[in-house]
Amino acid sequence: MILASDSAARLVSSLPLNWLILLGGLVAIGPLSTDMYLPAFPAMARDLGGRPGAMAYTLASYFVGLALGQLFYGPVSDRFGRRRPFLAGLALYVVASLGCALAGSAESLVAWRFLQALGGCSSMVIVRAVVRDRCEAREAAKAFSMLILVMGVTPLLAPLLGGWMGVNLGWRSIFWFMLLFGALSLLAVGFGLPETHDTRHEPPLRPGRILADYASLLASRAFLGYTLVGGFGFAGMFAYIANSPFVLIELHGVRPESFGWFFGVVAFGYVAASQINARLLNVAPPTRLLRVAVRGPALAGLLLVLGEALVGPSLPWVMAGFFVYVASMGFIGPNAAAAALATHGQMAGKASALMGSLQFGLATLAGGLVGLWHDGGTRPLMVIMALGGIGAWLALRWVEARLPRGRRPRP
């Protein structure tokens, strides 16, 4: 993908353009692993002897693996550098993708997806840490926005490709594709990603010190508050990702091979918003943009609940709510991450890991609540999305109310 962007050009001094493209491809492992197989949920359920809703557990187990695995890669990447843990994680991802492709039951697929996440989450932690190694807060927010553009083709095309492969080649072909992508990523890191973290003065890994570092991060109101802003927002977005196949395919009759077009429209809003955010960062700090954008998911969630109550499950209304909510996350995600990591460069790996773990923990909880409340309609999803959006808004109010102006992360 060619990035003809002023924002990208301004980042070259901090993070070379070829690195942005490489890192964007590496973080694409995340949306590839979650979005590509969504259209195949009904076919997988029939083949593995489960109900369509049961396939959501394969997504939930993946998110549990993401939440737990990131806590491991953070301290390890701070102690031993970024490359070696990354290579080990990608190797595990490849092996687990093979297990998913050969799974003979829903239970085994759930287990392999958990292991796949333990490997794949290395890309999320280490890519964020690499950006923090090289960039200050404002530049980091721009970099995160540009990474969304580089990886943005994945949520746009993955459901389309997955829907076509599921119909024409069978759902197992989707996991064979993930295996191939993981293997290529492994080669890309091995030959194209230099080390960015100097480990000569890093202390040995000790459980007590790791826990103390995590405790100090949790005690930081800036870190915890901005992490929760992104986490609550992402929880609502995950609820949408996990349940959109049921809502669109089962309730609104969208064909599996066409599901990607609906999903892609929403993903396009996310990517486009991230690029607008990158340009706005030239004139405004991340925290100011965050203050405006955080209202979007709250309003979208409330409108989804209101629409479901007043006009029923109308597809145009539902799609409009999904679009506004997810597009707002294109502003919230990069800016909340940059603000949370701004003052913790000395342990960027641990900070990135804890941030990701907390956020995916909230996402897993949101997905589980929708599953437990499943009533055959759209109400559970709409309410959980509304709670996620309101939670993000309240978290920002909380952190800014308790941070003296002089202690807020500087752009």
Domain boundaries, the chain: 14-192+206-403
Q: pLDDT grade, residue 149 (50/70/90)?
A: low
Question: Which pLDDT belongs to residue 74?
Answer: 76
248-271 b/e (C-beta count within 10 Å ≥ 16 → b):
bbeeeebebbbbbebbbebbbbbb
Are the C-beta atoms of residues 395 and 232 closer than 8 Å to each other?
A: yes
**Confidence class of residue 1 from pLDDT cuts 50, 70 and 90?**
very low
How large is the angle between the packed helices 315-341 and 295-310, nearest 10 degrees?
Answer: 160
Count of other CB atoms within 10 angstroms of residue 338: 31
Task: State the pLDDT confidence band at 10, using cuts at 50, 70 and 90.
Answer: very low
The pLDDT value given to residue 8: 38
pLDDT at site 379: 81
Give the pLDDT confidence score for residue 147 in this predicted structure: 73
Q: What is the DSSP string of 273-335?
A: HHHHHHHHTTTS-HHHHHHHHTHHHHHHHHHHHHHHHHT-S-HHHHHHHHHHHHHHHHHHHHH
- Name the pTM for this structure: 0.71
409 confidence band (pLDDT: 50, 70, 90): very low
Question: What is the per-residue pLDDT for 155?
Answer: 67
- Which range, of 37-46, 201-210, 231-240, 388-397, averages the lowest pLDDT? 201-210
pLDDT of 26 over the 60 cut: yes
**pLDDT for residue 140 is more than 60:** yes
Whether the pLDDT of residue 96 is over 50: the answer is yes
The average confidence (pLDDT) of the chain is 81
Q: Which CATH superfamily is domain 14-192+206-403 in?
A: MFS general substrate transporter like domains (1.20.1250.20)
**Is the confidence at residue 30, as pLDDT, over 90?**
no
Tell me the C-alpha to C-alpha distance, in Å, between residue 225 and each of 160, 175, 317, 340, 399: 36, 36, 32, 8, 5
Mean pLDDT of 122-140: 76
pLDDT higher than threshold 90 for residue 115: yes
- Between residues 132 and 293, which one has the greater pLDDT? 293
pLDDT band of residue 332 (cuts 50, 70, 90) is very high
H or E segment at 271?
helix 259-280
Tokens 């000395």 sit on residue: 346
Mean pLDDT of 282-293: 88
